[in-house]
Amino acid sequence: MKKRCIFILAFLIMTNLNVIAQQAIGGATSIVSPEVKADNTVTFRYLAPHAKEVKISGDWMPAQGWTPGSEAMTRDEKGLWTYTTIKLPSDLYSYYFLVEGLKTTDPNNVYLIRDVASVTNVFIVGGGKGDLYKVNKVPHGTVARRWYDSPGNNMTRRVTIYTPAGYESGKEKYPVLYLLHGMGGDEEAWIALGRTSQILDNLIAQGKAKPMIVVMTNGNVAQEAAPGESSLGMYKPTFELPHTMDGKFEETFTDVIKFVESNYRVKAEKSGRAIAGLSMGGFHSLHISSYYPNTFDYVGLFSAAIIANDKITSKVYENIDKTLETQMKNGYKLYWIGIGKTDFLFKNVSEYRDKLDKLGMKYIYRESEGGHTWTNWRVYLSEFVPLLFK
């Protein structure tokens, strides 16, 4: 064993010096953060001997107006700052530290997610809905990043595709859910922030959802792929991109469908197609499903950004009442609308519901607590998916 030990030691020194250095400073042998405990409290630890103030901001803390909530951490004699939450409801949470006011990720937690240009740490509290977001001992689907031709955009574009366990080895045809992100997002958003593959794996394993393919597109037609994944290189992601809500994505969505239906064993028919999206993706889903009014039997609008913009003219948005009426007459199986009570788009969605009511267009309405958050979108996905393809 001696040689092996020397090898490991040399290796540790070569590769993990910072960790060792950090440990040496505080005399701690190993810092665990976050520590999710059996009683659903969570302890965070951050070694910062020279810092005068360390706070933690987590998405479970009530925000104060526009300011996200934060709480002070407590310093011990060695400079280790700790904070323990109250018992948290089962969910996936994100957080970061504020060291003398500066946002810092937790160096002891390698699990990070990017939301537009902001990177935060994540953890899961189990024992409830959080279990749906965990990787469990169930059959796992495949997640592939692929590129497809979009002649309508004169581009090759990147797409994330989930195929359920058994797809590759089987022969049957599967239905498809097209799942669209919000403004500032891309083809990585639903798989990373939305925990789509975990939710699908778990719901399918529990017999609560039909096995289905999930196609996560990039809704920003100005870009080929997510930041860092195209020839634009590694640049700072921006929230607003051109041509995100001008009809171009909706109009060229047939390129995506064509790619999927000629490359996968799918039920290439209305009853085998669902489309749903969050925020801008909800807006896209609304318009794609009405512009192609006999294509989708299932539509999901999650906190949909239903914005009428008089300045933008696109055949996609023309005569929306008329196209909705056509969609209604053609028939569909599910039109699902979800919104949080404090969402800044609540009023827009209300007005849209009024429109649907006037048209006599049926929908299922789900009003949740909270606002315009991934916490809600994961819940909406978890509730929407079991209703599909039944």
Q: How far is the CB of 17 from a second copy (least distance, A)?
A: 6
Query: Quick check: 64 binds a second copy (CB under 8 A)?
Result: no
Contacts of a second copy in 226-245 (CB under 8 A):
227-231, 233-234, 236-237, 239-240, 245
Q: How far is the CB of 98 from a second copy (least distance, A)?
A: 9
d(CA 140, CA 124): 19
CA angle 61, 66, 72 (to 5 degrees): 40
d(CA 151, CA 324): 27
DSSP 89: P
Is 48 exposed, middle or buried, given 0-12, 13-18 or 19+ CB atoms closer than 10 A?
buried
Query: Quick check: 38 binds a second copy (CB under 8 A)?
Result: no
Token pair belonging to 159: 């797409």
Query: Quick check: 24 binds a second copy (CB under 8 A)?
Result: no
Q: How many residues bind a second copy (CB under 8 A)?
A: 92
User: E strands along 311-376, which residues?
Assistant: 334-340, 364-368
Sign of CA dihedral 26, 32, 33, 36: negative
Query: Quick check: 205 binds a second copy (CB under 8 A)?
Result: no
Q: How far is the CB of 295 from a second copy (least distance, A)?
A: 24
Residues near 75 by beta carbon (within 8 Å), at least 6 away in sequence: 51, 54, 81
Toward a second copy, which CB reaches closer, 99 or 276?
Answer: 99
* Contact region with a second copy (CB under 8 A), list: 7-15, 207-215, 355-363, 377-385: 7-15
Query: Quick check: 365 binds a second copy (CB under 8 A)?
Result: no
Contacts of a second copy in 299-338 (CB under 8 A):
305, 307-309, 311
Residues near 10 by beta carbon (within 8 Å), at least 6 away in sequence: none
* Contact region with a second copy (CB under 8 A), list: 113-121, 315-323, 356-364, 377-385: 113-121
Among 164, 184, 194, 272, binds a second copy (CB under 8 A): 184
Q: How far is the CB of 16 from a second copy (least distance, A)?
A: 6
* Contact region with a second copy (CB under 8 A), list: 41-49, 269-277, 332-340, 353-361: 41-49
Contacts of a second copy in 244-263 (CB under 8 A):
245, 263
d(CA 265, CA 242): 34
